[in-house]
Structure 1
Amino acid sequence: MLERVMHLLPSELNAVFERIPLRVKEQVEEIRIREGRPLEIGTGEGYWFVGLNGELLGRPQEAYKPSTETCRRLLERVTNHSLYAMEEELRRGYITVAGGHRIGIAGRTILEGGAVRGIRDVAAFNLRIAREVVGAAAGLLPKLLDMNKRSVLPALILAPPQQGKTTLVRDLARAVSSGAWGHPAAAGWPARKVGIVDERSEIAACVRGVPTFNVGPRTDVMDACPKAEGIMMMLRSMSPEVMIVDEVGREEDADAILDASHAGVAVIATAHANDAGDALGRPALRRLLEEGAFAVCVELRRSESGIATRVVPAAAAGRAPAAREPTAAKGGGAFG
């Protein structure tokens, strides 16, 4: 896992990470680099501070502390030495690099007319390492089948950050667009045309418009495009039967998803929420649920056996919880 982002790191950080035990390197999902403060990594098993010699520490006092110069060089690398060219990404607080890895940033904001125009004096980075897990959705997809339409039900996938949402929808795209339905009753069903609106370039990890992750043979991707606009562009130009979008929650997202659902497209969307009850507390998600844009809600949690899910009818959102069942092989959720 770690080797996928090593080329982004300044030499002094590379030297520290080279000394981390191999077993841990393979499991790293998140790297937190804060100027003058302890270096930290996260895996599916938890978080540790990192010492100068690669040792994993529970306490921050002895951890390696990246310097101002180290953070400056890191920013230059992740922006390809052009802060101006990355102005829009910096304004949103993250940069997505080739491979679908997302780098969150924090620092002093620049305001213009009361709105954030950018971030300067960047002093903190959160590198989230993307990975592809073919088969991650194998346990869930049979529960989402629409037997009448011989396709997939529109679904809202809910979880807090880093529970596996993006990993899951990436594999759903692959399976649906290749006809790998995973259910005896669906044998012989045709594969469906899938459209992905990948605002953060994380689902498909496109490079110059071409996906680098396996999202299936009948999938088209609108990359680095705001969700609301991308959904409408897909509807007009690519005639998808299934639409996949990540991290919805704005009113304009809801408008576009409703338009897609009224056009007969099954939308699979993810959102940050602990469960369906929490989703009802977000106005745009409540509207989508109440107006029938989704047939089911899927609640995710990471577990030792993979991604555990609870699937409930959207009409029953917010009722008493039932047990979650594992739906993927161990390690199925890299981040979400």
Structure 2
Amino acid sequence: MKEILDMLPQHIEHSTIQLNDRLQNLEEIRLRINKPIEYVFHHHSEFLEHLTFSEQDAKEFLGKISQHSVYRMEEELRNGFITIKGGHRIGIAGKVTLSDGQVQAITQISSFNIRVAKEHIGSASKVMNHIYNHKNKQIHNTMIIGAPKSGKTTILRDLVRTISNGVNGFQPRRISLIDERSEIAASYEGIPQHDVGRKTDVMADCPKAEGMMMMIRSMSPEVIVVDEIGDEEDVNSINEAIHAGVQVICSVHGYTLDEVLKRPSLKPLFDGQVFERYIVLNYENSPGVVESVYDENFKLLTKKVRGNRHEMDRGHSDTVHVHVGRTRYR
């Protein structure tokens, strides 16, 4: 949390510190120009009506998170977020500029969303019992299904750490983690800020499909882990990995298995029975709760497997203009 506090304008830092013991439950800090500061907890959010995020605050904050060089953050700004030391991720919103249909920059930045990075060791302990085949000592190819804030990233991160280290009696495996949005390992300057295990190699900020193929060629993984698959390229790369003898663990956005089964882009994976386990997370109560587990034939194996109950790893206004290579304010 110190890394975040150091980036905030002083008066906002002071008010945030006043949360005292509640700081440990803070998930997000939302900063919107000319609007009150918003603190987001898991079940509610609070506005500080007396504290407004000004244009000058935005200028100071952007300067700090980019180390006063927006150009060096070019790629991250294009992706809509910046990762700072400690693995905390800062999302940005505003107006985009396009070139040939591709985002070139985010301009007129008017909102920042600071997501507090947290890791919860042991959150995947219950899940491991369902994805580890005790007979042949192999990891089941597994798809984790969950809605936002259901704990997908937290469980995926702890699975990586557990499988990589071989804790709790499980044999350790070489893992290649494709961390396209730098949410699992939370790499800062290429170095994971979270504990993802001793035998884990991380490819951060790389498109999933390309990253999987790169890691198979270069790192000889036994297991590949990837977050939020969805398009045809992802599906093709997963099939390639499976046929190369690599186990795959991935996550996908969804509320139920039935909902995910209807997605056309994922149909080849289901038709080919690529995955041997489908783990659906509960999205209504506390994150990190497994709602149900299914096998490769979509047969229900168990319901309500409770693991760690914590998540996280998460009108008119004046604007800050940011262009790749230069910054200007209005």
Does the alignment reach a TM-score above 0.5? yes
Q: What amino acid is aligned across from residue 138 of structure 1 in structure 2?
A: S
Q: What amino acid is aligned across from residue 47 of structure 1 in structure 2?
A: S
Q: What amino acid is aligned across from residue 324 of structure 1 in structure 2?
A: K
Range moving further from structure 2, 299-308 or 236-245 = 299-308
Name the CA distance, whole Å, in 2 between partners of 1:216 and 1:70: 38
1:111/1:118 contact within 8 Å kept: yes
Q: Secondary structure of the equivalent of 1:86?
A: helix
State the partner residue of 1:30: 28
Q: Which of 249, 260, 264 is matched with 1:268 structurally?
A: 249
Q: Secondary structure of the equivalent of 1:298?
A: strand
State the partner residue of 1:316: 298
1:90/1:119 contact within 8 Å kept: yes
Within a 5 Å distance, the mapping from 1:122-271 to structure 2 comes to 122-180=109-167, 182=168, 187=169, 190-271=171-252
1:93/1:106 contact within 8 Å kept: yes
State the partner residue of 1:98: 85
Higher RCO by CA contacts (8 Å cutoff, separation 6 or greater): 2
Q: Secondary structure of the equivalent of 1:31?
A: strand
2:142/2:279 contact within 8 Å kept: yes
Name the CA distance, whole Å, in 1 between partners of 2:264 and 2:251: 15
What is the CA deviation profile of residues 20-58 of structure 1, one whole-angstrom value per residue up to 9, with x for unaligned ones? 2x1221210111111112221112232221244xxxxxx
Name the CA distance, whole Å, in 1 between partners of 2:303 and 2:139: 23
Superposition TM-score, scaled by structure 2 size: 0.87
State the partner residue of 1:115: 102
Superposition TM-score, scaled by structure 1 size: 0.86
State the partner residue of 1:325: 305
Q: CA deviation at 1:303?
A: 7.3
RMSD (Å) for aligned C-alpha atoms = 2.2
What is the CA deviation profile of residues 131-188 of structure 1, one whole-angstrom value per residue up to 9, with x for unaligned ones? 12111111111111123431211111111222211111111111111222x4xxxx5x
Q: Secondary structure of the equivalent of 1:105?
A: strand
Q: What amino acid is aligned across from residue 290 of structure 1 in structure 2?
A: D
Name the CA distance, whole Å, in 1 between partners of 2:101 and 2:196: 40
Range moving further from structure 2, 238-247 or 283-292 = 283-292
Name the CA distance, whole Å, in 2 between partners of 1:132 and 1:268: 19
Relative distance call for 1:303 and 1:252 in structure 2 (3 A) is same
Question: In the comparison of the two structures, how many residue pairs are matched?
Answer: 313
Name the CA distance, whole Å, in 2 between partners of 1:327 and 1:286: 30
What is the CA deviation profile of residues 183-240 of structure 1, one whole-angstrom value per residue up to 9, with x for unaligned ones? xxxx5x5311111111222212234433332211211111222211111111011111
1:109/1:119 contact within 8 Å kept: yes
2:293/2:303 contact within 8 Å kept: no
State the partner residue of 1:41: 39
1:162/1:335 contact within 8 Å kept: no
What is the CA deviation profile of residues 255-300 of structure 1, one whole-angstrom value per residue up to 9, with x for unaligned ones? 1111111111111111221122222233333332223332121111
Q: CA deviation at 1:4?
A: 4.1
1:93/1:119 contact within 8 Å kept: yes
Q: What amino acid is aligned across from residue 13 of structure 1 in structure 2?
A: I
Range moving further from structure 2, 215-224 or 299-308 = 299-308
State the partner residue of 2:11: 12
Q: CA deviation at 1:79?
A: 2.1
Q: CA deviation at 1:107?
A: 0.3
Range moving further from structure 2, 89-98 or 285-294 = 285-294
Q: What amino acid is aligned across from residue 284 of structure 1 in structure 2?
A: S
State the partner residue of 1:61: none
Q: Which of 248, 251, 267 is matched with 1:286 structurally?
A: 267
Q: Secondary structure of the equivalent of 1:84?
A: helix
Q: CA deviation at 1:248?
A: 1.5
The answer to whether the aligner puts 1:334 opposite 2:316 as a matched pair is no
Q: What amino acid is aligned across from residue 226 of structure 2 in structure 1?
A: V
Relative distance call for 1:314 and 1:83 in structure 2 (3 A) is farther
Q: What amino acid is aligned across from residue 5 of structure 1 in structure 2?
A: I
Q: Secondary structure of the equivalent of 1:230?
A: helix
State the partner residue of 1:57: none
Identity of aligned residues (%): 36
Relative distance call for 1:86 and 1:169 in structure 2 (3 A) is same
Name the CA distance, whole Å, in 1 between partners of 2:293 and 2:105: 39
Name the CA distance, whole Å, in 1 between partners of 2:151 and 2:258: 19
Name the CA distance, whole Å, in 2 between partners of 1:111 and 1:246: 27
